[in-house]
Amino acid sequence: MKAWIDGELVDEENGLVSAMSHTLHYGTGVFEGIRAYGVNDDTLVFRLMDHLERLERSARAMHFDIKFSLEQLRDAVIDVLRHNDLQDAYIRPLIYVGAGSLALNFHASANPLSTMIAARKWDRYFEADGLSGISVVTGIGRRLTSQTELHQAKVAGAYANSYVATMAAQKAGADEAILVDENDCISEASAANIFHVQDGVLYTPTCRTALAGITRDTIILIARQRGLKVCEVELTADDLYGAAEIFLTGTACEVVPVTAVDGKSIGEGAGAGTVGPLTQELHTAYQRTVRSRHSFSSNTWIGKQTIAA
């Protein structure tokens, strides 16, 4: 596979990183997760410019001087898809710091900053497809919130916390962890936002501690377009236990139903533990939106000639 590194396409395995890379030691990297979808012979990179803008904001929060414009990064994404002959793909940009000073506060002249874009086929984040659900546990992990200037940044080091939470969730027999904030209110999953449905209304935690997910935003827009009410509120685990439906949203996992929380089936009566109707409807609508060329002005459409050059 080819990756784009600082303006050049190289074989991924030749994109060497020093064992003394600052990012490797301290997690001082910023990244994005983006999806591209094949639409007949063409390819749609869903909300690409929104993702690249968030990458830029994450980099700024880390005091990085970014060397490339958003347009250059967009063209690099197109190049990577084209050279790897990918249509349905998960795209991973990463800005990382090389070797030099081991001090935390390195200077740009001491440690080089690199920008990398790679892509993969990655059909499913969770084993379950959109029409079967996953199980989650609460009370296992806490979202890191004290660094407020970083809580909207996708910083590599912050994912060690998410990693530990998902490992603990899996050891407890569940698929995923739901992280809480400093007040024990629900924040989000390890790398996805959470929604629940009650009496036909959608509820999701505010972005005070949760990442303002692009999928979360997409689902809120889709739901409102369909006349559904969406409330951004503080939620507790009790709200989840009593919910009619729950689902997670994220670029990698898309819309994933949650059918059990802390071992309790979600929903009532015959529907308990099964995927709810609103979740199914939003899942289907999301799949249509991510393949619809004009759904967002930040989409990037790649015609067949471009992708198959």
Find the helix packing angle between 70-83 and 48-61, rounded to 10°: 120
How far is Cα 240 from Cα 8, in angstroms, rounded to an integer? 47
User: In the annotation, is 2 catalytic?
Assistant: no
- Size of residue set near ligand PMP by CB under 6 A: 14
Residue 245 neighbours by CB distance under 10 Å: 24
The reply to whether 33 sits near ligand PMP by the rule CB under 6 A is: yes
Residue 121, judged by CB atoms within 10 A of its CB (0-12, 13-18, 19+), counts as exposed
How far is Cα 283 from Cα 287, in angstroms, rounded to an integer? 6
| 106: helix, strand or coil | coil
Q: Which stretch binds ligand PMP (CB under 6 A): 194-202, 210-218, 230-238, 278-286?
A: 210-218
- Taking the complex as a whole, how short is the minimal distance between the CB of residue 154 and ligand PMP, in angstroms? 6
Please pick, from the candidates 130, 133, 141, 213, the single residue that binds ligand PMP as defined by CB under 6 A. Answer: 213
* Contact string (CB under 6 A) for ligand PMP, positions 174-193, x = contact: --------------x--xxx
Residue 247 host element (H or E): strand 245-250
Out of 2, 154, 229, 264, the active site residue is 154
Please pick, from the candidates 128, 180, 214, 266, the single residue that binds ligand PMP as defined by CB under 6 A. Answer: 214
Nearer to ligand PMP by Cβ, of 98 and 205: the residue is 205
Nearer to ligand PMP by Cβ, of 181 and 267: the residue is 181
The reply to whether 250 sits near ligand PMP by the rule CB under 6 A is: yes
- Taking the complex as a whole, how short is the minimal distance between the CB of residue 18 and ligand PMP, in angstroms? 26
What is the token pair recorded at 230? 């969406």
Find the helix packing angle between 48-61 and 214-225, rounded to 10°: 140
Contact between residue 226 and residue 211 where contact means Cβ atoms under 8 Å apart: no
- Taking the complex as a whole, how short is the minimal distance between the CB of residue 306 and ligand PMP, in angstroms? 25
Nearer to ligand PMP by Cβ, of 50 and 245: the residue is 50
How far is Cα 3 from Cα 58, in angstroms, rounded to an integer? 21
Active site residues: 154
Residues engaged in binding ligand PMP (CB under 6 A): 33, 154, 188, 191-193, 211, 213-216, 249-251
